């Protein structure tokens, strides 16, 4: 799974970590769902822990079937390629209640992510008045870091934190502008703490070396020319 541009975390294959966390009793003994499809039917993982519950041979083309009581459900594939479902049997329902405010940087522009080599170790979320602060710690690996001097440094393995509370309180990586002096892609750590909420102890975080050189244009994805990239 991964977060989309709206910070909406979603899965493309069977949520292996979620299923393992729910455990054998939930999944294969009590036979409870691990989620729901957009048409409202439950999604199960029968056979994940107990192969005696396997229903793969009974599934329809959408990966669904009815239980003994006549209730329809989908079942994820419990082996590679870990499919969730191939199509929707019912009509999509508008039951989602997700609401969020898109992250913006200090200039008020929306922050859009890019792939980077950051192995997540831990994460937490805390509320401070009207702000919700998200902190993710992990290991930055194999990235080229832009320094304030304009030179770059290759980071092979360096632990630190990424955080975001509001547009005046964050520590995030952005992609640096292209330059003849830089071979390949470089990123820089934008560290802004002028508006951190009371109670958020930013000084306790192990952060990366901030970039304090000339302002970067932080161009967005190709074709937009608007959004910065994280």
Q: Examine residue 86 and state whether it is found in any structural domain, yes or no.
A: no
Same-domain status, 138 and 70: no
Q: Examine residue 88 and state whether it is found in any structural domain, yes or no.
A: no
Same-domain status, 134 and 197: yes
Same-domain status, 113 and 225: yes
Same-domain status, 116 and 159: yes
Q: Which residue has the tokens 């509001």?
A: 166
Cβ–Cβ under 8 Å, residues 155 and 147: no
Torsion of CA 159, 165, 167, 170, to 10 degrees: -10
Give the phi and the psi of residue 159 in degrees, each rounded to 5.
Answer: -90, 145
Predicted pLDDT of residue 213: 92
Q: How many CB atoms lie within 10 A of CB 162?
A: 23
User: Hey, what are 166's tokens?
Assistant: 């509001």
Predicted pLDDT of residue 101: 74
Same-domain status, 35 and 106: no
Cα angle 49, 54, 58 (rounded to 5 degrees) comes to 160
Same-domain status, 117 and 37: no
Q: Examine residue 94 and state whether it is found in any structural domain, yes or no.
A: no
Q: Examine residue 30 and state whether it is found in any structural domain, yes or no.
A: yes
Same-domain status, 151 and 107: yes
Please, which residues bridge with residue 187 across strands? 145, 175
The tens-digit pLDDT sequence of the chain (230 residues) is 877 655 567 788 999 999 999 999 999 999 999 999 989 999 999 999 999 999 999 999 999 999 999 999 999 999 999 999 999 999 988 766 666 678 888 888 888 777 889 999 999 999 999 999 999 999 999 999 999 999 999 999 999 999 999 999 999 999 999 888 888 899 999 999 999 999 999 999 999 999 999 888 764 444 333 333 33
Same-domain status, 146 and 224: yes
Last residue of a domain, one of 13, 40, 75: 75
Predicted pLDDT of residue 7: 55
Q: Examine residue 108 and state whether it is found in any structural domain, yes or no.
A: yes
For residue 214, what are the contacts with CB-CB under 8 A and spacing of at least 6? none
Q: Examine residue 31 and state whether it is found in any structural domain, yes or no.
A: yes
Same-domain status, 121 and 173: yes
Q: Which residue has the tokens 């994460």?
A: 123
Number of domains in the chain: 2
Q: Which residue range is the domain that position 108 belongs to? A: 101-230
Q: Examine residue 165 and state whether it is found in any structural domain, yes or no.
A: yes
Q: Examine residue 95 and state whether it is found in any structural domain, yes or no.
A: no
Give CA–CA dist 159/179, Å, rounded.
Answer: 27
Cβ–Cβ under 8 Å, residues 108 and 120: no
Same-domain status, 142 and 224: yes
Same-domain status, 39 and 121: no
Same-domain status, 127 and 21: no
């Amino acid at each position: 799974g991964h977060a989309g541009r709206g910070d909406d975390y979603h899965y493309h294959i069977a949520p292996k970590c979620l299923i393992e966390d729910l455990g054998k009793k939930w999944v294969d003994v009590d036979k409870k769902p691990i989620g729901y499809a957009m048409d409202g039917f439950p999604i199960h993982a029968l056979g994940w822990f107990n192969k005696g519950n396997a229903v793969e041979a009974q599934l329809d083309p959408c990966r669904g079937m009815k239980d003994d009581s006549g209730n329809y459900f989908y079942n994820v594939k419990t082996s590679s390629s870990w499919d969730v479902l191939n199509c929707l049997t019912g009509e999509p329902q508008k039951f989602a209640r997700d609401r969020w405010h898109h992250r913006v940087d200090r200039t008020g522009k929306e922050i859009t992510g890019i792939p980077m080599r950051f192995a997540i170790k831990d994460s937490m979320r805390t509320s401070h008045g009207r702000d919700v602060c998200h902190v993710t710690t992990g290991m930055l690996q194999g990235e080229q870091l832009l320094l304030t001097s304009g030179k770059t440094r290759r980071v092979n393995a360096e632990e630190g934190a990424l955080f975001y509370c509001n547009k005046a309180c964050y520590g995030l990586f952005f992609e640096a502008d292209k330059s003849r002096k830089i071979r390949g892609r470089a990123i820089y750590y934008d560290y802004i703490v002028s508006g951190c909420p009371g109670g958020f102890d930013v000084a306790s975080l192990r952060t990366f070396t901030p970039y304090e050189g000339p302002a970067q244009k932080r161009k967005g994805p190709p074709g937009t020319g608007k959004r910065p990239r994280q």
